[in-house]
Chain A
Amino acid sequence: MHIAEGFLPPAHAIGWTVAAAPFVVHGARAVVREVRENPESTLLLGAAGAFTFVLSAIKLPSVTGSSSHPTGTGAGAILFRPPVMALLGTVVLLFQALLLAHGGLTTLGANAFSMAIVGPWAGYGAYRLTRGLGGGLLPGVFAGMAVADLATYVTTSLQLALAFPDASSGFAGAAAKFLGVFAITQIPLAIGEGLLGVLLFRVLTVNARPELERLGVLKS
């Protein structure tokens, strides 16, 4: 989902940066507030950030013969609500843009919008929906993690289609092409990410029960 440096026309690059900025600022304030009001959250916040850091560094092969990476943003969105991930996800993207030449500064806004904003919100929505329908914590985590991953890549496809519409079939045709690159490859990765999320939350429910109860993830 990393749109490469310089690969969005200037108007799109600026537009996505302007669109993402308020979410990231709001996310930064959410992180500061969480740490100030609940200092005991710092450990779990670190875990959520670290989880995204690891997963987005790993390129995994998929059944389509392509490789891609998971995003890991669902875990933090479920634990601390999505705004926190707007900051943590953007920090990861900035690290990769500056040190790894992966993604870019001109495309940071667009990449943050897909991975740090749409992904976490969509994943959080899927988690809440699963819980609301009577699903347990772990099915909710699976759904949330997998949807956060997939939604990120669908957003990237749509962003690219907006910037590079097809000469004959327009936005829809271009969207189909970019979704063809990203979406199917991403399905096994999303499932794998869902399973990893379940593993993480199984550890947390045993070892961080007081925090999960305070955050409302587990009933006390």
Chain B
Amino acid sequence: MNRRTLVTVLLVLGVVALFAVPLIAGGPAEYTGTDNQATTVILQQDPGYRPWFSSVIPPLSPSVESGLFAVQAALGGGVLGYVLGRLRGRRAVRESGSATLPGTEPQ
């Protein structure tokens, strides 16, 4: 394994470890979203506060909501993968073009 690959693997492992460790070591924590916790704190600060506008779409069931978040991630991941793939392909074409002059390709 060359050094560049090793660094890539270590970076990926670092990211995975950052989020796997709290899950494994965290015990019974529920991992409430901070956005929801902030709403709770707002209502502690001002128990009389009532939201004056509600979401344009009706409340979603948790599974539908996580599905929509997955769609968002998939859209972003798809576009990112497409761009990186195109850039990589472009480099491959350029390198093969400059490495072998026309008519001198190895037989």
A residues whose Cβ falls under 8 Å from a Cβ of B: 1-7, 9-10, 43-44, 46-47, 49-63, 65-68, 95-102, 104-106, 153, 156, 160, 164-167, 174, 177-178, 181-182, 185-186, 188, 191-192, 195-196, 198-199, 202-204, 206-208
Q: What residues of chain A lie closer than 8 Å to B106, measured between beta carbons?
A: none
In the assembled complex, how far is the CB of residue A205 from the closest CB belonging to chain B, in whole angstroms?
Answer: 11
Which of B8, B49, B83 meets A202, CB within 8 Å? Answer: B8
Q: Whole-angstrom distance between the alpha carbons of A8 and B8 in the complex?
A: 43
Residue contact A178 to B79, C-beta cutoff 8 Å: no
Q: Whole-angstrom distance between the alpha carbons of A191 and B16 in the complex?
A: 12
Q: What residues of chain B lie closer than 8 Å to A97, measured between beta carbons?
A: 55-56
Q: What residues of chain B lie closer than 8 Å to A4, measured between beta carbons?
A: 35, 38-39, 51
In the assembled complex, how far is the CB of residue B51 from the closest CB belonging to chain A, in whole angstroms?
Answer: 3
Residue contact B53 to A95, C-beta cutoff 8 Å: no
Q: Whole-angstrom distance between the alpha carbons of A106 and B45 in the complex?
A: 20
Residue contact A65 to B79, C-beta cutoff 8 Å: no
- What string of 1s and 0s marks CB contacts (under 8 Å) between B1-35 and chain A? 00000011001101100110111001001111111
A-B contact count (CB 8 A): 182
Residue contact B35 to A10, C-beta cutoff 8 Å: no
Residue contact B35 to A53, C-beta cutoff 8 Å: no
What count of chain B residues pass the 8 Å CB interface test?
A: 56
Residue contact A174 to B54, C-beta cutoff 8 Å: no
Given A51-B76, A101-B57, A207-B87, A182–B34 Cβ distance below 8 Å? yes
Given A50-B83, A67-B34, A166–B45 Cβ distance below 8 Å? yes
Q: Is the interface of B mostly helix, strand, loop or mixed?
A: helix
Given A65-B29, A67-B33, A199-B12, A5–B90 Cβ distance below 8 Å? no
Q: Is the interface of A mostly helix, strand, loop or mixed?
A: helix
In the assembled complex, how far is the CB of residue A156 from the closest CB belonging to chain B, in whole angstroms?
Answer: 7
Closest 6 CB pairs of A and B: A6-B51, A53-B76, A65-B29, A54-B76, A50-B79, A57-B72
Residue contact B83 to A95, C-beta cutoff 8 Å: no
Residue contact B76 to A52, C-beta cutoff 8 Å: yes
B residues whose Cβ falls under 8 Å from a Cβ of A: 7-8, 11-12, 14-15, 18-19, 21-23, 26, 29-35, 37-39, 41-42, 45-46, 49, 51-57, 59-60, 65, 68-70, 72-73, 75-80, 82-84, 86-88, 90-91
Q: What residues of chain B lie closer than 8 Å to A1, measured between beta carbons?
A: 34-35
Which of B26, B53, B55 meets A63, CB within 8 Å? Answer: B26
Q: Whole-angstrom distance between the alpha carbons of A15 and B68 in the complex?
A: 30
In the assembled complex, how far is the CB of residue B9 from the closest CB belonging to chain A, in whole angstroms?
Answer: 11
Given A101-B59, A164-B45, A181–B83 Cβ distance below 8 Å? no
